[in-house]
A and B are shown apart, each in its own frame.
Chain A
Amino acid sequence: MKTVRVLIVDDHRLFRSGVRAELGPSIQVLGEAEDVESAVASIAELKPDVVLLDVHMPGGGGQEVLRRVLGSGAQVRFLALSVSDAAEDVIGVIRGGARGYVTKTISGAELTDAIIRVSDGDAVFSPRLAGFVLDAFASSEAPPIDPELDSLTQREREVLRLIARGYAYKEIAKELFISVKTVETHVSSVLRKLQLSNRHELSRWATARRLV
């Protein structure tokens, strides 16, 4: 089994060491960073496969790291890890280029699983993120500008709904009589839409959730 090389970016030292201790043997932690500056520098230096990225950090937060690293064309994958449940943060960091979003209450085994999935180029959706996506892509009066990007297929909706109901990929595959690989393909496709869609509702929806 190949090992995945990981960098942990979080401004809480206790949390960093906690994650380090919980990760499975297939994960090799290259280092830790505690703010935007050191994160950008460490990514350039250590070239990890996956960066575990905290959303809220001094100096601009996870989105700033995404902007600076992905803007420079580096080939590195990000998994966002946060305590925040705010739609603005979740949607923001995914649109910033992260390939997944999990909350910090996730168990060590599940996190290990998620890191391996992200390192393989797949997407990781928490139940809450799936709920947000369903909500954001739900009813809209305005016709989509780009039908391919601006709406979900029936199958993608089914997959997201099962994720929101708390199903693991394996359980979803069993439920829908498809392979786990197909489930992964659907989720990756949703992630692409989420990142590329120009639906202005998406950003507006995320901010509106906070303003009410």
Chain B
Amino acid sequence: MLREMSETPTVPDAGPRLVRPASGRVVAGVAQGAAAQLRLDPVVLRLGFLLLTVVNGLGVVAYAALWMFTPKEEAKGPEPARDWGQFAAYGVLWVAVAGFGWITGAFDGGIGTWPIAAGGIGALILWQQADPSRRQRWMSGAVRQVNTGWVRTLIGALLVVVGAFGFLAASGELAKAKTGLVFTAVVVGGMLLIAAPWLASLVKELQRERTERIRQEERAEVAAHVHDSVLHTLTLIQRNAHDAREVTRLARSQERELRNWLYQPKQDADATLAAAVRRVAAEEEDAHGVPIEIVCVGDCDLDERLGALLQAARQAMVNAARYSGASVISVYAEVEPDEVTVFVRDRGKGFDMDDVPADRMGIRQSIIGRMERNGGSARVRTEPGDGTEVMLTMKRES
């Protein structure tokens, strides 16, 4: 059950119970709820209710009954507004269909019913395939180029025309209406000819405005970022021009920040190992002014033991930055299916492990001890004059 629901995330109300969703409802959400239950497009059911109403009022009764017996979906947040555009469309359609039915008596059966049905379905497709915002624009009279779904638009229009002509033909009115139709066609065509250039320029203007707006928004975002970080740092650099070390530190930290903004995927620094290693290295780089180069292969979520690994790695970076005298520190983190390894390496002066006083907590406690307490291991390779490499390994929890 759970699996099934997770596979159909787009239909949140596909559960076992029939409910009336509040969002996207036209009247009370009955058709939508039932459609979700039957895995149908709600339009089909809405059309069904509409036609049943026109034919003999049955639709109203059915709808009311379902309305009463179906619980409302528990809404989260404020209740969404009803889609009045759709409501109006269905209303107009109902009036039109009912009007035709009443005038012609077509709903008493016979061939006259079909053109009306075709026309109605066509109109609905036209209306339905437009998304709410586009319908809003249609309602407000604005003209926009419809790029997508124009095939469906065409089919809808065709169905409407076929419906209209079919109706006239079936009721024997086509011959009589011929003159009127030609007149209408000529008038509409003429109006289109007159309005076409204006419409085209309007469309172009709207598109231009839209691109311009998007461009401006992007420029504003970049400008905000540059102002907050880059310009700020440049000011600081000018003020600290006498202090070479500080200038390097500022430039380096700004470079790192800009790089992250440009190239690194947006990550939560406390959630995954690679992001956490980058954050820790950045902090130590800032604190000690020694560049730390990071290479990460693979990634995984952080847990308690990897947190300990991270602490040990931080201590190794601190040691390298403070005591090695190296101009750069390399950090390499690799996540493999069964274990995580972090290497911290410098080409500095190195040291003799046996010469390290027993009370110096850095290596023995903060690195080796911490790793062993958490079920990992640490290996330190160093020789005077040959740099230092700390290798930290932690098994992954399965």
Chain A CB within 10 A, most for which of B259, B263, B297, B343: B297
Which B residues from 280 to 300 make CB contacts under 8 A with A? 293, 295-298
Interface residue A66 (Cβ < 8 Å from any Cβ of B): no
Within the complex, the shortest CB–CB distance from B111 to chain A, in Å, comes to 56
Interface residue A16 (Cβ < 8 Å from any Cβ of B): no
Residues of A near B141 (CB, < 8 A) are: none
Given A85-B263, A134-B334, A212-B265, check contact A166 B297 (CB 8 Å). no
Given A127-B295, A128-B295, A134-B297, check contact A165 B263 (CB 8 Å). no
Within the complex, the shortest CB–CB distance from B198 to chain A, in Å, comes to 40
CB-nearest residue of chain A relative to B299? Answer: A135
Task: Decide: A165 and B297 in contact? CB cutoff 8 A.
Answer: no
Given A85-B259, A127-B330, A134-B334, check contact A165 B343 (CB 8 Å). yes
CB-nearest residue of chain A relative to B252? Answer: A105
Within the complex, the shortest CB–CB distance from B287 to chain A, in Å, comes to 20
Given A131-B296, A135-B297, A138-B298, check contact A166 B263 (CB 8 Å). no
Residues of A near B265 (CB, < 8 A) are: 209-212
Residues of B near A131 (CB, < 8 A) are: 295-297, 332
Interface residue A86 (Cβ < 8 Å from any Cβ of B): yes
Partner of A165, one of B296, B337, B345: B345
Task: Decide: A165 and B259 in contact? CB cutoff 8 A.
Answer: no
Task: Decide: B345 and A166 in contact? CB cutoff 8 A.
Answer: yes
- Interface residues of B, dominant DSSP: strand
CA of A106 to CA of B257, assembled, Å: 19
Interface residue A154 (Cβ < 8 Å from any Cβ of B): no
Q: How large is the interface on B (under 10, 10 to 19, 20 to 34, 35 or more residues)?
A: 10 to 19
Task: Decide: A166 and B332 in contact? CB cutoff 8 A.
Answer: yes
Partner of A161, one of B266, B334, B337: B334
Given A127-B332, A209-B265, check contact A165 B298 (CB 8 Å). no
Within the complex, the shortest CB–CB distance from A39 to chain B, in Å, comes to 24
Residues of B near A210 (CB, < 8 A) are: 263, 265
Q: How large is the interface on A (under 10, 10 to 19, 20 to 34, 35 or more residues)?
A: 20 to 34
CA of A130 to CA of B330, assembled, Å: 13
Task: Decide: B297 and A138 in contact? CB cutoff 8 A.
Answer: yes
Interface residue B389 (Cβ < 8 Å from any Cβ of A): yes
Interface residue A26 (Cβ < 8 Å from any Cβ of B): no
Which B residues from 379 to 398 make CB contacts under 8 A with A? 389
Given A131-B332, A165-B343, A166-B345, check contact A86 B296 (CB 8 Å). no
Contact with B along A122-144 (1 / 0, CB 8 A): 00000110110011001100000
Interface residue A153 (Cβ < 8 Å from any Cβ of B): no
Residues of B near A164 (CB, < 8 A) are: 295, 297, 332, 334
Contact with A along B362-392 (1 / 0, CB 8 A): 0000000000000000000000000001000
Residues of B near A211 (CB, < 8 A) are: 265
Interface residue A84 (Cβ < 8 Å from any Cβ of B): yes
Residues of A near B297 (CB, < 8 A) are: 131, 134-135, 138, 164
CA of A127 to CA of B343, assembled, Å: 13
Within the complex, the shortest CB–CB distance from B265 to chain A, in Å, comes to 3
Given A165-B389, A209-B265, check contact A127 B345 (CB 8 Å). no
Partner of B293, one of A166, A167, A209, A212: A166
Contact with B along A80-101 (1 / 0, CB 8 A): 0000111000000000000000
Residues of B near A86 (CB, < 8 A) are: 262-263
Residues of A near B389 (CB, < 8 A) are: 165
CA of A139 to CA of B299, assembled, Å: 12
Task: Decide: B266 and A165 in contact? CB cutoff 8 A.
Answer: no
CB-nearest residue of chain B relative to A139? Answer: B337
CA of A128 to CA of B294, assembled, Å: 8
Residues of B near A209 (CB, < 8 A) are: 265
Within the complex, the shortest CB–CB distance from B44 to chain A, in Å, comes to 37
CA of A23 to CA of B259, assembled, Å: 27
CA of A166 to CA of B334, assembled, Å: 14
CA of A127 to CA of B334, assembled, Å: 13
CB-nearest residue of chain B relative to A209? Answer: B265
Within the complex, the shortest CB–CB distance from A143 to chain B, in Å, comes to 17
Residues of B near A139 (CB, < 8 A) are: 337
Residues of A near B259 (CB, < 8 A) are: 85
Residues of A near B298 (CB, < 8 A) are: 135, 138
Task: Decide: B295 and A84 in contact? CB cutoff 8 A.
Answer: no
CA of A134 to CA of B296, assembled, Å: 10
Task: Decide: B263 and A84 in contact? CB cutoff 8 A.
Answer: yes
CA of A130 to CA of B363, assembled, Å: 29
Within the complex, the shortest CB–CB distance from A21 to chain B, in Å, comes to 19
Residues of A near B293 (CB, < 8 A) are: 127-128, 166
CA of A128 to CA of B293, assembled, Å: 9
Task: Decide: A166 and B266 in contact? CB cutoff 8 A.
Answer: no
Residues of B near A165 (CB, < 8 A) are: 295, 330, 332, 343, 345, 389
CA of A52 to CA of B225, assembled, Å: 32
Within the complex, the shortest CB–CB distance from B327 to chain A, in Å, comes to 9
Residues of B near A135 (CB, < 8 A) are: 297-298
Task: Decide: B263 and A130 in contact? CB cutoff 8 A.
Answer: no
Which B residues from 291 to 318 make CB contacts under 8 A with A? 293, 295-298
A sample of 6 cross-chain residue pairs with beta-carbon separation below 8 angstroms, ordered by A number, consists of A85-B259, A127-B330, A134-B297, A164-B295, A165-B330, A210-B265
Where the two chains meet, the residues of A that have a C-beta atom closer than 8 Å to any C-beta of B are: 84-86, 127-128, 130-131, 134-135, 138-139, 161, 164-167, 209-212
**Shortest beta-carbon contacts, A-B, top 6:** A166-B330, A212-B265, A131-B295, A165-B332, A134-B297, A164-B295
Q: List 7 additional contacts besides A138-B297, A166-B330, A166-B332; criterion CB under 8 Å.
A: A130-B295, A131-B296, A161-B334, A164-B334, A166-B347, A210-B263, A210-B265
